Amino acid sequence: DIQMTQSPSTLSASVGDRVTITCRASQSITIWVAWYQQKPGKAPKLLVYDVSSLDSGVPARFRGSGSGTEFTLTITSLQPDDFATYYCQHYDSYKWTFGQGTKVEI
Amino acid sequence: EVQLLESGGRLVQPGGSLRLSCAASGFTFNNFAMTWVRQAPGKGLEWVATVNGAGGKTFHADHVKGRFTISRDSSNNTLSLNMNSLRAEDTATYYCATVRTWGPEGPVDNWGQGALVTVSS
């Protein structure tokens, strides 16, 4: 089974910072990687799918990239609304895996 | 507007059974795969099960295989999750969600508000 190891688990940053979250897959995978944002008490929200496609309405400061076994979510200039927990996900034709999550805090 | 409304979450004893339902509206139900994702209190997201758009193929995570069964009913646009032999570690908020594709190889793009299942004596 493919495992997705996400790092860091917690990230402290300030408004305006460039932030990078990494997900490493246990084996080389295709383009089926997504990133979600979750705020306390709320359902997750899709940000990026197929590694680098921004979902509709998601600000351009969010960028997904990567290939093979390493994938990243970058927030180019952190905004107050971005403090949340972020999850990567690998979706496949028969099994899904989420990363452990990265909490972005002030 | 896509709406997903879960119901059925409650306190249940270990070894017990429970059925979660999700009423879907605002989209063509048969065109998209549907899924259940859970989140234990204070923990991360965990995939549970997915069913394709036609309902003919189901996929279950290893930790629920043989105990949980996902199904869908296009006559009333409802997604269900039958849960048997429940354990304390199944305690979580269960989210009903749509997949962007007909098959399971797509991201989750709409989520319900979640249904809390608590397994405890």
Q: Are A35 and A27 in contact (CB under 8 A)?
A: no
Predicted local confidence at residue A103, as pLDDT: 98
Q: Give the start-end residues of each E strand in chain B.
A: 3-7, 11-12, 18-25, 34-39, 45-51, 58-60, 68-73, 78-83, 92-99, 108-111, 115-119
User: Bridge partners of B97?
Assistant: B35, B111
Contact status of B44 with chain A (Cβ, < 8 Å): yes
Predicted local confidence at residue B103, as pLDDT: 82
Q: Which of A49, A63, A53 is nearest to A91 (CA)?
A: A49
Predicted local confidence at residue A1, as pLDDT: 82
Kindly report the nearest CA distance between residue A32 and chain B, in angstroms.
Answer: 7
CB contact under 8 A, B44 and A34: no
What digits encode the pLDDT tens for the residues A40-93? 999 999 999 999 999 999 999 999 999 999 999 999 999 999 999 999 999 988
Partner-chain residue, chosen from B44, B97, B99, that has the shortest CB–CB distance to A100: B44
Q: Which of B114, B121, B120 is nearest to B9 (CA)?
A: B114
What digits encode the pLDDT tens for the residues B74-108? 999 999 999 999 999 999 999 999 999 888 889 99
The torsion angles phi and psi of B89, rounded to 5 degrees, stand at -70, -5
Predicted local confidence at residue B57, as pLDDT: 92
Mean pLDDT for B1-22 is 97
Query: In sequence order, what DSSP letters do the residues of A85-99 get, joined into one string?
Result: EEEEEEE-SS-EEE-
Contact status of B112 with chain A (Cβ, < 8 Å): yes
CB contact under 8 A, A49 and B106: yes
Predicted local confidence at residue B21, as pLDDT: 98
Partner-chain residue, chosen from B44, B46, B108, that has the shortest CB–CB distance to A46: B108
Contact status of B47 with chain A (Cβ, < 8 Å): yes
DSSP letter at B106 equals: S
pLDDT at residue B55 greater than cutoff 80 = no
CB contact under 8 A, B61 and A49: no
User: Bridge partners of B19?
Assistant: B82
Partner-chain residue, chosen from B35, B45, B104, that has the shortest CB–CB distance to A44: B45
* Cβ-based neighbours of B93, under 8 Å, separated by 6 or more: B9, B38, B39, B41, B114, B115, B116, B117
Mean pLDDT for B38-66 is 94
Cα separation values, B27 from A36, A37, B24, Å: 22, 23, 8
> Tokens 């949340």 label which residue?
A84
CB contact under 8 A, A44 and B109: no
Residues of chain B with C-beta less than 8 angstroms from the C-beta of A36: 45, 108
Predicted local confidence at residue A30, as pLDDT: 80
Tokens of A74: 């970058």
DSSP letter at B89 equals: G
Pick the residue with more confidence: B112 or B53?
B112
Predicted local confidence at residue A92, as pLDDT: 85
Mean pLDDT for B23-51 is 96
Q: Which of residues 4-23 of B touch A (CB under 8 A)?
A: none
Identity of the amino acid at B79: L
* Predicted confidence band of residue A31 (pLDDT cuts 50, 70, 90): confident
Kindly report the nearest CA distance between residue A98 and chain B, in angstroms.
Answer: 6
